[in-house]
Amino acid sequence: MSIIKSFSVGNGDTFYIKHGSDNFTMVDCNLTSDNKEKIINEIIRESKEKGIFRFVSTHPDEDHFHGIEELTKKVSIPNFYCVENNAIKADVTESFKKYCELRDSDKSYYISKDCSRKWMNCSSDERGSSGINVLWPDTQNQDFKTELALCNEGIKFNNISPIIRYAINEGASAIWFGDMETEYMEKIVDKVSFSETTIVFAPHHGRRSGRIPTKILDELKPRLIIIGEAPSEDIAYYSNYNTITQNSCGDLKLDCIGEKLYIYCSNDNYSVKFLDNDWESKDQDGLKYLGTLAIKEAELV
């Protein structure tokens, strides 16, 4: 069993993966005075029996690392993954200082297309792989170099986001794009090897500015697109796909068991029509059971 959790943190991202192997992964954080105690306590509880803890930072925007200095007071981050950069900011917050400290430390590992690392995607006799692979960036690609230069000049940061895919053997898969923008995705679409993926976390919190191009969606064939907490008027709703909108459902938990996803959310009044109903229950944190998604569509008879 593997768990993917997406916290409702407003305009920002905070995810974790509790792997079936001896791995625990966080992807970004946006911790505030209202949510930090709850989220950090859950991270401590869910990761305590895992031998490997990694933090993946998609890009140096405040809503993707805010509060990381608070996190590191309670949680050790021995492995910090990011795209190599020298981002600068006009407004240097405590969170950005901690981001730079981790980015430039011996704890950092710079991710890029097809990189390999024990135990990110390489197993050993000691423990299994986390199932994480990096599809982008190609650091030699000119379009990426242009975006990296803008990042390093402190102008914009979204398009240095990596494309990260997580897959469970014989089970679900998920993909993250950070805050990648549509125009940039259109430039690199033919340079990334996409494959069918169960869950897609919509880029840029689900905004139209980060709508995934049709060609990429045709290759991903997602069973579920999760839309973040962008304002409703800015959202791309992906009308031809099964979607869950996190500004309505709240915290979202995906239990990946075999060929099914058992989905829970924190809003008792939220519902969707495309999920099966296997049981009625709540998880240990009181999240509502929303329904079950079969990973593979039933064959037509």
Q: pTM of the full predicted structure?
A: 0.96
Name residues whose C-beta falls within 8 Å of residue 103's C-beta, 6 or more positions apart in sequence. Answer: 57, 60, 80, 82, 85
Note whether residue 84 is domain-resident. Answer: yes
Contact predicate 181/156, CB 8 Å: no
CA distance to 106, 206, 209, 265, per residue, from 101 (Å)? 10, 30, 31, 34
Note whether residue 91 is domain-resident. Answer: yes
CATH number for 143: 3.60.15.10
- C-alpha–C-alpha distance, residues 203 and 180, integer Å: 6
Q: Domain count of the chain?
A: 1
Note whether residue 299 is domain-resident. Answer: no
Contact predicate 120/56, CB 8 Å: no
Name residues whose C-beta falls within 8 Å of residue 279's C-beta, 6 or more positions apart in sequence. Answer: 289
Note whether residue 120 is domain-resident. Answer: yes
Note whether residue 20 is domain-resident. Answer: yes
Q: What is the 3-state secondary structure (H, E, C) of the chain?
A: CEEEEECCCCCCCCEEEECCCCEEEEECEECCCCCHHHHHHHHHHHHCCCCEEEEECCCCCHHHEECHHHHHHHCCCCEEEECCCCCCCCCCCHHHHHHHHHHCCCCEEECCCCCCCECCCECCCCCCCCCEEEEECCCCCHHHHHHHHHHHCCCCCHHHCCEEEEECCCCCEEEECCCCCHHHHHHHHHHCCCCCCCEEECHHHHEHHHCCCHHHHHHHCCCEEEECCCCHHHECCCCCCCEEEHHHHCCEEEEEECCEEEEEECCCCCCCCCCECCCCCECCCCCEEEEEEECCCCCCC
pLDDT along the chain (301 residues), means of 10: 96 96 97 96 97 98 98 97 98 98 98 97 94 98 98 98 96 97 98 98 97 98 97 94 97 94 95 87 84 72 33
Range of the structural domain that residue 185 is part of: 2-294
Note whether residue 98 is domain-resident. Answer: yes
Note whether residue 95 is domain-resident. Answer: yes
Strands 108-110 and 79-82, bridge-based pairing: parallel
Note whether residue 154 is domain-resident. Answer: yes
